[in-house]
């Protein structure tokens, strides 16, 4: 616990940056410790993966589960996010490309200011964003990483194991179809581990604008994967 507790602080810190101010990072850390305990208890030393790789999704999942149980996100914000996802899917099918902000606002019968404000509200209530697309639930309901779904010849029910490579291919394809600026934000945030503020400094825009770009990218990805029947990942 002592050796790997910094993992909890790392995950909680990244998640806290996108949550409302009233959500205390200390609370996230306490929720994450539950995930760390679970990871320590369940980790198989015989597997050829690093403990950090195994533990981080469980820490994040424990935090997500607790935040969801508190149900602090307004229903109107959840509904708006779903509306934007559906509008994006409809326009992409019609236009065969990612729709612009103006096209999205028109489809939603909103002004540009209203559309931008909606993105900010959604970004402030997003718990796990793109990370959720890379996790699934096992039979017990626990969050597990896609790494844990790779074929195991000793598994009792191999047909029930998620085909991780296929899902990764679909996610990669969906990311490749993002507008360049949104693709860059995704790469810097999820692969380079920069914060939204740091990405804003790199691109020369405000943290709020980066938050909007991140939210749009995530909603686009969710709508695309949802078209392929991955509604359980939303």
* CATH number for the domain harbouring residue 228: 1.10.10.10
Task: Give the three-class secondary structure for 21.
Answer: coil
Residue range of the domain that includes 210: 73-125+164-234
**2 or 191: which leads in pLDDT:** 2
Q: How far is CA 98 from CA 9, 87, 110, 161, in A?
A: 36, 11, 18, 32
In a domain, 32, yes or no: no
pLDDT above 60 (res 28): yes
Q: Closest Cα partner for 135 from 35, 18, 27, 206?
A: 35
In a domain, 142, yes or no: no
pLDDT above 70 (res 31): yes
Domain tally, the chain: 1
**208 or 36: which leads in pLDDT:** 36
Could you give the CA distance from residue 168 to residue 204 in angstroms, rounded to a whole number?
A: 31
In a domain, 141, yes or no: no
pLDDT of residue 231: 38
Average pLDDT over residues 43-48: 82
- Residues 53-94 have pLDDT tens digits of 888 888 988 887 787 776 666 677 778 888 998 999 899 989
Task: Give the three-class secondary structure for 135.
Answer: strand
Could you give the CA distance from residue 137 to residue 151 in angstroms, rounded to a whole number?
A: 16
DSSP per-residue codes, 166-223: HHHHHHHHHHHTS-HHHHHHHIIIIIS---HHHHHHHHTS-HHHHHHHHHHHHHHHHH
- Residues 103-141 have pLDDT tens digits of 999 999 999 999 988 887 777 665 544 454 444 444 444
- Residues 68-77 have pLDDT tens digits of 776 666 677 7
Q: Are 103 and 95 in contact (CB under 8 A)?
A: yes
- Token pair 């507008």 is found at 179
């Amino acid at each position: 616990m002592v050796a790997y507790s910094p993992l909890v602080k790392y995950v909680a810190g990244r998640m806290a940056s996108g949550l409302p101010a009233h959500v205390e990072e200390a609370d996230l850390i306490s929720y994450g410790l539950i995930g760390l305990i679970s990871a320590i208890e369940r980790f198989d030393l015989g597997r050829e993966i690093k403990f950090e790789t195994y533990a981080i999704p469980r820490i994040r999942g424990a935090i997500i589960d607790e935040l969801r149980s508190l149900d602090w996100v307004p229903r109107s914000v959840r509904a708006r996010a779903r509306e934007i996802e559906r509008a994006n899917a409809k326009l992409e099918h019609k236009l065969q490309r990612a729709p612009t902000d103006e096209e999205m606002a028109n489809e939603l019968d909103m002004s540009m200011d209203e559309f931008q404000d909606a993105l900010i509200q959604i970004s402030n209530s997003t718990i796990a964003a793109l990370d959720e697309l890379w996790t699934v639930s096992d039979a017990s309901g626990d969050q597990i990483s896609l790494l844990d779904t790779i074929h195991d010849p000793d598994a009792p029910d191999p047909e029930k194991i998620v085909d991780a490579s296929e899902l990764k291919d679909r996610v990669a394809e969906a990311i490749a179809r993002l507008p360049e600026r949104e693709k860059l934000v995704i790469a810097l945030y999820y692969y380079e581990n920069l914060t939204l503020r740091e990405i804003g400094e790199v691109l020369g825009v405000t943290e709020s604008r980066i938050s909007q770009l991140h939210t749009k990218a995530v909603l686009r990805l969710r709508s695309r994967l949802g078209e392929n029947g991955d509604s359980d990942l939303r």
